[in-house]
Structure 1
Amino acid sequence: MPTRASRSDVLRLRLVSHGLSAPAGEAGGPDGPLAVVERMLAVQAQDLPAASWALGVRSPGTVAADVLSALDAGSIVRSYPMRGTLHLVPATDVRWMLDLTAARVLASMATRQRQLGLDDTIIAAAAEAATGLLSGGRRLSRTPFLAGLRSAGINPDGQRGYHLIAALALAGLVVWGPNQDGQPALALLDEWAPAQRRLDRSEGLAEFLVRYLDGHGPATLRDFAAWTQLTVADARVALAEAGDRLEELEVDGETLLLPAATERGTLGSRPAQRTPVLALPGFDEYLLGYRDRSYVVDDADFPRVVPGLNGIFLPLIVADGRVIGTWRKETTRTRAAGPTVAVEAAPFGTLTARRTTGFARAIRDYSAFTGLPTTITPPTAPSARAGTIS
């Protein structure tokens, strides 16, 4: 029988699953970028700096260079395993995830590909060209790669280049891996990450669900289906195959799932948020990882997180598991001082002194992650002064 729980229980357990809090007396949180991605399974990453901070905030002490090192080492890659969107994933898990999701993602892209004049013949020619450009361990960033396609007689102009790269990645041919001259570079998946796990379909579905819940739970089966864009039927197969690896919670008459006997928090524990206030990046899994986002943000406030409901998710201010505002940053570069970051908070209401201090601490952590001096204007009384965090 499901265990009865409250919405506040769900928030406490999710903070622990995300590595943003820990049970009392424990350090908690994954150790390093790869450990974060292995727990989360996939972290949305069309904005690489934001995705890098998503790993850093979940692994205290991690700096931006550590994320780049993991990408350069090949332990983490970027691909399109879900929803036609780039995600950071463990290199060893890319292939089996694509086996489950690629066909549906490609089907969802078919209309746009036809509008762009991309057919199977052109995509096959792009695959042949990509193999020639990248085989033997060669790596190319976007611009030279698209130039190579053009030299092979394939027009990559406009959105055609993006869709060609996505199609090749979904086919398991290429992956965004290391950096080349400061830019993400494409490599052949089989050369860059040859140690791939392969799972049969039912085994893969169960692994998908358990790993999702390990980094996001408690969550509903509908949350999982929305996150992966698998069918409801596939989600039910995953649930049946996972069996006693999962536990159920009942919250307001709804069933939520989480890994069985998790050591990272129970209903009786009171894990504390690692800091009183969290400064999460835009597109963070703490919000995007669910179909039902009402647990973490009020419906009335959601348009303030996604202004104009245009699909651009702003960075989040989170306290006690709830989104209480957003924040923006602007980087300025000068010859004398180098790059500096200016941060401005936009809370949904007046912040208490404790939360104002907590936000400043969270931005101090962000500054340590980026290694850039960061100026913050606390969003409180008019007398609050701007301060510089080195």
Structure 2
Amino acid sequence: MKKGDLLQLRLQNQGLLSPRFEKPQDAVAHLGAMQAQDFNMATWAAGLRLKNPGRAAVESAIHSGQLIRTHILRPTWHLVHSKDIRWMMQLSAPYVKKATQFVDKKEGLNDELFKKCRKIIERLLNQADQITKEDILLALSKQRITISSLLTTQIIIRAELEMVLCNGAAKNTYVLFDQRIPPAAALSKTESIVQLAQRYFQSRGPATVKDFAWWSGLGIHEAKTGIAELGPQLEQFIFNDLKYYYLGVEGKTPSTKAVTLLPCYDEYTVGYAEGRAIALPPGLDSAIIGNGIFKPVVLYGNEIVGTWQKNRKTGLAEVQLLDETKAVPPKKLEEGIAAFNRFYQAGIRSK
């Protein structure tokens, strides 16, 4: 398989070539989890994959609890479907706790302190529908527990991992997990690993075992278990001496190339480790495009051809091409910019 074919498969599986999802929660469920530390960019990432993108629909799904924004898989924010969060959190929490233990120890978070804080947080939420980080800090100080802002963040992350808290209806608020998340049948660890592998390779394939292990936060052994259990469902091939896996592609590949404004932290670039560099322009200093992760980038077909940013005053997209002489049809560029502008302007403002 050639590089161009590999990237086309990824884009199709990611839902970026021909968006096929009616609802944002369907797009997120397909992806398993979608990185979301930048709230506005995360809403656009979901919108890109919808047949009829609308910011209001994405924000509504988050505020209503159909999509949950929480720390899961790796110690950063993700969007997860409410129907998936229980089994996924039960699988990933031990790995995330291990990843956060250095900061926890540095800030003084131990089991004894967390148990005290958990009781105070639960009591606070029995008196209020939703709370903020500041509410937690104030409640702890009233109990003569003085902690820093970073330690409070680590306590909140631990509470998310132990399924005590999750995001509330308004931005930057928290509610009791069990009051917002519906009950669900428990899965065994192996069943959860296989389920996560299936979501990963159906939405991000072709990808390698190390790509899956990095994205999921699982160990290599667990990642290999997921691949082995999927067995013949996975297609595989060798590219640049690495073995790539993917599940069958859904939908038709468009016959013409389009310009797409990818948000920062989009799963098209952030969802890989050793397989990420394939999508980056060869010979380019990756810092110029934030390694394809930390800056929003412009795709023309399957090539990264520029970066973009949202104007702070107007909220509209402004594009900077990497090579002004490169043949990017102005009409295609205008269409890509217009798609983001419509999405942004049609949305509701975050509470």
Structure 1 length-normalised TM? 0.82
**After superposition, what is the alpha-carbon deviation per residue over 1:141-192, rounded to whole angstroms, capped at 9, x for unaligned?**
333343333334433423112111111111121112421xxx2321111110
- Whether 1:94 aligns to 2:85 is yes
Q: 1:362 to 1:351 in 2, by over 3 A?
A: farther
Specify whether residues 363 and 155 from structure 1 end up closer, same or farther in structure 2 by C-alpha distance, changes over 3 A only: farther
Contact 2:315 2:344 in 1 (8 A): no
Q: Which amino acid aligns with 2:30?
A: R
- Is residue 206 of structure 1 aligned with residue 190 of structure 2? no
C-alpha distance after superposition, 1:106-134 (max 9, x if no partner):
12211211211222111111211221122
Map residues 65-104 of structure 1 onto 2, 5 A cutoff: 65-104=56-95
- The answer (yes or no) to whether the contact 1:91–1:196 under 8 Å persists in 2 is no
Which has the larger strand fraction?
1
The corresponding residue for 2:240 is: 252
In structure 2, C-alpha distance between the alignment counterparts of 1:11 and 1:250, rounded to whole Å = 14
List aligned pairs for 1:222-241, cutoff 5 A.
222-241=210-229
CA contact (8 A) 1:316 1:327 kept: yes
Q: What is the identity, as a one-letter code, of the residue corresponding to 1:86?
A: W
Matched, 1:141 2:145: no
1:264 paired residue number? 251
1:314 corresponds to which residue? Answer: 295
Is 1:350 equivalent to 2:332 in the alignment?
no
Map residues 66-215 of structure 1 onto 2, 5 A cutoff: 66-135=57-126, 138-179=129-170, 183-215=171-203
Q: Is the 8 A contact 1:301 1:348 kept in 2?
A: no
Shift of 1:355: 3.5
CA deviation digits over 1:62-119, x for unaligned, max 9? Answer: 2211112111221100111122001000111112112222112112211211211222
Pick the aligned partner of 1:220 from 200, 205, 208: 208
Work out whether 1:362 is the aligned partner of 2:343: no
2:261 aligns with: 279
Deviation digits for residues 305-344 of structure 1 (CA, Å, limit 9, x no counterpart): 22xx7x9701110112121221112222xxxxxxx22533
Q: Gaps (5+ residues) in structure 2? A: none
Alignment-derived partner of residue 286 in structure 2 = 302
Question: Quick one: distance in 1 between partners of 2:24 and 2:325?
Answer: 31
Alpha-carbon separation, structure 2, partners of 1:372 and 1:75: 20
- Partner amino acid, structure 1, of 2:2: S
- CA distance, structure 2, for counterparts of residue 192 and residue 136 of structure 1: 16
- 1:381 maps to none
* Cα displacement (A) at 1:345: 2.0
Specify the alignment match of 1:12 in structure 2: 8
SS in 2 for 1:178: coil
Distance in 2 (CA, whole Å) between partners of 1:63 and 1:263 is: 23
Are 1:206 and 1:239, in contact at CA under 8 Å, matched by a contact in 2? Answer: yes
Q: How far, CA to CA, are the matches of 1:327 and 1:113 in structure 2?
A: 36
Percent of aligned pairs sharing the same letter: 28
Indicate the residue corresponding to 1:61 in structure 2. Answer: 52
Question: Offset at 1:304?
Answer: 1.1
**Whole-Å Cα distance in 1 between the matches of residues 186 and 288 of structure 2?**
42
| One-letter amino acid of the counterpart of residue 222, structure 1 | K
Counterparts of 2:157 and 2:303, CA distance in 1: 34
AA at the equivalent of 1:263: E
Which residue identity is paired with 1:304? I
8 Å Cα contact 2:317-2:340 kept in structure 1: no
Letter in 2 for 1:363: I
Partners of 2:75 and 2:67 lie apart in 1 by: 18
Structure 1 vs Structure 2 CA RMSD: 2.3
CA contact (8 A) 2:193 2:225 kept: yes
Tell me if the contact between 2:316 and 2:341 (Cα under 8 Å) persists in the aligned partners: no
- Contact 1:92–1:197 (CA<8 Å) still a contact in 2? no
* Shift, 1:367, TM fit: 1.1
CA distance in 1, matches of 2:68, 2:36: 10
**What's the offset of the Cα at 1:354?**
4.0
Gaps of 5+ in 1: 23-27, 333-339, 374-390
Query: Structure 1 residue 197: deviation in Å?
Result: 4.4
- Label 1:134 to 1:355 Cα distance change in 2 as closer, same or farther (>3 A): farther
Question: Aligned equivalents of 1:247 and 1:353: distance in 2?
Answer: 34
Question: TM-score, normalized by length of structure 2?
Answer: 0.91
CA offsets, 1:37-60, max 9 Å, x none? 011111110111000000111114
Secondary structure (helix, strand or coil) at the match of 2:311 reads strand
